[in-house]
Amino acid sequence: MTKRARIVAGNWKMNMTYPQGRDLTLQIVNSLQPSETVVVLCPPFIHLQNTYTAITGISNLHLGGQNCHEAEKGAFTGEVSVDMLASCGCKFVILGHSERREYFGESDTLLAQKIDRVLEANLTPIFCCGEPLAIREENTQDAYVAEQIKNSLFHLSADQLKKIVIAYEPIWAIGTGKTASPEQAQEMHHYLRSLIAKQYSDELAQSIPILYGGSVKPANALELFSQPDVDGGLVGGASLKAEDFMSIINSSNKALDA
């Protein structure tokens, strides 16, 4: 089987003042050990330059943006372009988080445009997908998530798609304290690979990292990351505490060694 990248990404969302963000970054930098787990910090935009300076030279620690605009540049007050992110040292960009979809009306079509823009800049999209509680209760989550994947990603060539990271985040588990069971996570991750295999090839499907997100914490990270199709996590609240985030990273390393 193709060896996939193991990734733990911390999404700070709209948290951390400048001093708080600086302190958190330094705690992570001082605690992180070299490993095969790729660690990505995705802070608010005000922290990008300072975070990049702090992590420079650490081979498995990278910077990511939480969002970007689909246009190259222009009169879009309050927005951030991919080139701006790249100029601050970003290697990754989170796209399609459920909060962006729900609160800001981001559609699959818009996200396809953003995907294209990020790939053009040679950055790696972390593409989020996932279902709300009502869909899960109806047991129609497969079809729901399949539409997100098909509408936003399946216009890409195989060479383009292999540069994507997917993050499955069941909306009912984000910030609620609820977590999909390891079995539920594995089931969906396996299903996502089957979609990619059918559209492209099994070889490509087996090469794409698929992360789990949704109340990942130290207590459940190892069991989640030990599932055969779960390649790490997109971590929200637990990424705001260095001790918790480091514990989750260590769980990824343990899962790799198992």
pLDDT at 258 over 80: no
Q: Has 169 been annotated as catalytic?
A: yes
Length of the chain: 258
pLDDT digits (tens, 9 = 90+) for 55-107: 999 999 999 999 999 999 999 999 999 999 999 999 999 999 999 999 999 99
* 231, part of any domain: yes
Could you tell me which of 191, 214, 193, 216 has the C-alpha nearest to residue 204?
Answer: 193
Print the domain residue range for 160: 6-257
- How many folded domains does the chain comprise? 1
Cα separation, 193 vs 189, in Å, equals 6
Active-site residue, from 47, 97, 99, 106: 97
Residue range 202-225: average pLDDT? 96
Asked whether residue 1 is domain-assigned, the answer is no
Q: The domain spanning residue 39 has which CATH number?
A: 3.20.20.70
> DSSP readout, 131-169?
--HHHHHTT-HHHHHHHHHHHHHTTS-HHHHTT-EEEE-
Radius of gyration of the chain (CA): 17
- Round the average pLDDT of the chain to a whole number and report it: 96
Q: Is pLDDT above 50 for 1?
A: no
Higher pLDDT, 154 or 215: 154
Domain-embedded: residue 142: yes
Helix (H) or strand (E) holding 233: strand 232-235
Residue 188 lies in a domain: yes
Q: What pLDDT score does 173 carry?
A: 85
Which one of 70, 99, 169, 189 is the catalytic residue?
169
Among this protein's residues, is 189 annotated catalytic? no
Is the pLDDT at 203 greater than 50? The verdict is yes
Kindly state the percentage of the chain with pLDDT values over 70.
99
26 occurs within a structural domain: yes
Single pTM value for the model:
0.97
* pLDDT surpasses 90 at 177: no
Residue 113 pLDDT exceeds 70: yes
Residue 114, domain member (yes or no): yes
pLDDT tens-digit map of 9-53: 999 999 999 999 999 999 999 999 999 999 999 999 999 999 999
